Amino acid sequence: MAVFHTQDISGRHFLVTGGAGFIGSHIVEYLLANGAGKVRVLDNLATGSRNNVALFSGNPRYEFMEGDIRDAAVCAQACEGIDHVSHQAALGSVPRSVKDPITSNEVNVSGFVNMITAAKDARVKTFVYASSSSVYGDEPNLPKREERTGNLLSPYAVTKMANELYASVFGRLYGMKVVGLRYFNVFGPRQDPEGPYAAVIPLFVSGILSETPVYINGDGGQTRDFTFVENAVQANIRGMLTDNEAAYGQVYNVAVGANFSVNFLYDAICKLLSKTHPAVYREARSGDIRDSLADISKAKQLLGYEPTRQFMDGLKLTVDFFTGK
């Protein structure tokens, strides 16, 4: 993985909430590989996995704390002695939030307030948090620009917009250095292929390999700005360590700036696996947007963000991971 910072971080202490999850574990891996003084993970293992962080367990600079962000005391303890926070802990999935809005709100909103309050009280230097492209809702224009959002289409989107509003207020009211990252369909190694809310790429790979039915919602013509996880790691590192004061108090699109249809994605995976396995089409999901494409010029300008992995490059690395290559 490329290096996304120039500072010496050997004396700095980092907290990654949700660090046993997909994106979080890649942030932890980057920080430890690049000499961070301490990396603490807070995770309740509801959707994260010990397998994702097993490779760090022997590292003396790594610390695992099992706990829930819905507990304010746990959040306060996790922030003790911490310089920088990367807040990834959340209950993902639009369909899950449609089915159970209460739990999504408890984790993603109440948990967020607990975490950012604990960070404020601990006087952390920077607080970076995961938002989502779902906040664009039904705003029809492409590419998506940070200042234009529409009607929200799911409880999950509401929780992420609430995070942005709270972060903005905490930045202005308490002088916190906060950065929000609107992820666009992040994918890569360690993304969970199991469970009812598994992400599309590991689901496709798993189904094609096992020759079990693979479902595409709607006609498959919907497009997404599929973003390899290394790009999400870069945005977090730059957000936590930027020296640009103008970069704080902002939200940024984290994407590649190119979109592909779900049908194209499926065909590309089949080709990488050298398999022919027709997909099964079914009804479109409620709460889903039709097309997604990010304008990443703001992140480039203020954070120095520049995608290091394009879609097909990242897809091959991901398929190789799931096939054990």
Res. 192: pLDDT tops 90: no
Residue 200 has pLDDT above 80, yes or no: yes
Tokens for 120, please give them: 């404020």
Going from N- to C-terminal start, the domains of the chain cover 13-186+227-254
Active site residues: 156
Comparing 291 with 88, the larger pLDDT belongs to 88
Average pLDDT over residues 81-106: 95
Which CATH fold would you assign to the domain 13-186+227-254? Rossmann fold (3.40.50)
**φ and ψ at residue 222, rounded to 5 degrees:** -65, 145
The yes-or-no verdict on residue 203 having pLDDT over 80 is yes
DSSP alpha helix (H) spans, the chain: 22-33, 50-53, 72-78, 94-99, 101-105, 111-121, 155-174, 200-210, 229-241, 262-273, 297-303, 311-322
Per-residue tokens: 312: 């097909």
Q: Tell me if residue 33 falls in helix, strand or coil.
A: helix
Q: Is residue 258 packed enough to be buried (19+ CB in 10 Å), middle (13-18) or exposed (0-12)?
A: middle
> Which own/partner pairs from 56-59 qualify as long-range (CB within 8 Å, at least 24 positions apart)?
56/28, 56/29, 56/32, 59/32
Q: Band the pLDDT of 196: cuts 50, 70, 90.
A: low
Q: What is the mean pLDDT of the chain?
A: 95
For 46-75, what is the mean pLDDT? 96
CA 78 – CA 66 distance, rounded (Å):
10
Tokens representing 292 are 């997604």
pTM (2 decimals)?
Answer: 0.96
pLDDT > 80? residue 139: yes
* Best CA proximity match to 28, nearest among 190, 244, 255, 198: 190
> Over the stretch 5-50, which tens digit does the pLDDT of each residue have?
999 999 999 999 999 999 999 999 999 999 999 999 999 999 999 9
- Does position 197 have pLDDT exceeding 70, yes or no? no
Residues 218, 213: Cα–Cα separation, whole Å: 15
Q: What percentage of the chain has pLDDT greater than the value 90? A: 91
Question: In the prediction, which pLDDT does 288 show?
Answer: 74
- pLDDT tier, 102 (very low <50, low <70, confident <90, very high otherwise): very high
> Rg of the chain's alpha carbons, rounded to an integer?
19
Instruction: Give the pairing type, strands 38-43 and 13-17.
Output: parallel
pLDDT at 272 over 70: yes
Long-range contacts of 211-217, Cβ-Cβ distance < 8 Å, separation of 24 or more: 211/277, 213/280, 214/266, 214/277, 214/279, 214/280, 215/279, 215/280, 215/281, 215/282, 216/262, 216/263, 216/266, 216/279, 216/280, 216/281, 216/282, 217/262, 217/282, 217/283, 217/284, 217/285, 217/288
Bridge partners, 250 (sequence order)? 179
Bridge partners of residue 132, in order along the sequence: 183
Confidence band for 194, pLDDT divided at 50, 70 and 90: confident
Cα dihedral value 266, 90, 246, 122, nearest 10? -150
Comparing 12-16, 152-156, 189-193, the range with the smallest average pLDDT is 189-193
Q: Is a pLDDT exceeding 70 seen at residue 297?
A: yes
pLDDT band at 75 (very low <50, low <70, confident <90, very high): very high
Strands 13-17 and 84-87: parallel
- Copy the structure tokens of residue 37: 């003084």
User: What is the four-CA torsion angle of 315, 321, 322, 324, rounded to 10 degrees?
Assistant: 140
So what's the pLDDT on residue 38?
98
Close Cβ partners of 85 (under 8 Å, ≥ 6 residues apart) = 14, 15, 16, 17, 79, 115, 119, 124, 126, 127, 128, 240
193 has pLDDT over 90: no
The pLDDT of residue 195 = 67
Alpha-carbon gap, residue 203 to 263, rounded angstroms = 14
Predicted local distance difference test score (pLDDT) of residue 1: 82
Residue 55 has pLDDT above 70, yes or no: yes
Q: What is the pLDDT of residues 212-247, one digit of tens each?
A: 999 999 999 999 999 999 999 999 999 999 999 999
The span from the CA of 97 to the CA of 154, in Å, is: 7
- Best CA proximity match to 112, nearest among 165, 154, 153, 60: 165
Could you give the angle at which helices 22-33 and 229-241 cross, rounded to 10 degrees? 60
